[in-house]
A = this chain, B = another copy of it.
């Protein structure tokens, strides 16, 4: 089959979310045309995307939601819940600590928070266990943490990332405007650059008509 292209990965991961919501609403079957509407994509694209997962539907019949969900979770690694930590507990970090990732499904659980400032650790009220930053490698390893959310001041971002890599995380979600370079290869990085988004938004509203503003790829 070969490797799944990046834009397809993006759409499939979003599709998974949509299918999950549909199943909660008691819907069991869905056509490529219907899914296309949700993603703002043509039915062709949806069929092709799903086709990358291997034959998933039967001609003439709508897709069985449960089948597609299983295929996606098998191939994109969504079978098991992922364990996360938040590094840097300023305003943004503390907010992330309690953030309801993915609603009730609990697919992403925050199991630890880290900060260099020990006073801060004592001040914050949270159900999540908190630790001083120097213990990152040890705790990440012990708790088998998969993903780290980096919310430290930007000049500490790379170091925080390095510590997480030492502990063996699989991915970094970077909230600073820095470009993070993973210490050991095999670690993926995604960045959420809020100021960058404001910049893009400004440029779009300045150069574009509204309906083109958010093509599905994000980023």
Docked-complex contact B207 and A76, CB < 8 angstroms: yes
Nearest-neighbor residue (CB-CB) of A3 within chain B:
B207
Give the size of the chain A interface in residues (CB under 8 angstroms). Answer: 73
**Residue A117, interface by CB 8 Å:** no
Protomer copies: 2
Give the secondary structure class of A's interface.
mixed
Docked-complex contact A98 and B91, CB < 8 angstroms: yes
Nearest-neighbor residue (CB-CB) of A105 within chain B:
B195
Which residue of B77, B197, B202 is within 8 Å of A82 (Cβ)? B202
In the docked arrangement, what's the CA distance between A13 and B26, Å?
A: 43
Docked-complex contact B91 and A198, CB < 8 angstroms: no
15 contacts between A and B (CB under 8 A): A6-B212, A6-B215, A12-B203, A13-B199, A14-B196, A76-B199, A77-B203, A90-B95, A91-B99, A96-B194, A171-B204, A191-B214, A191-B218, A192-B194, A218-B219
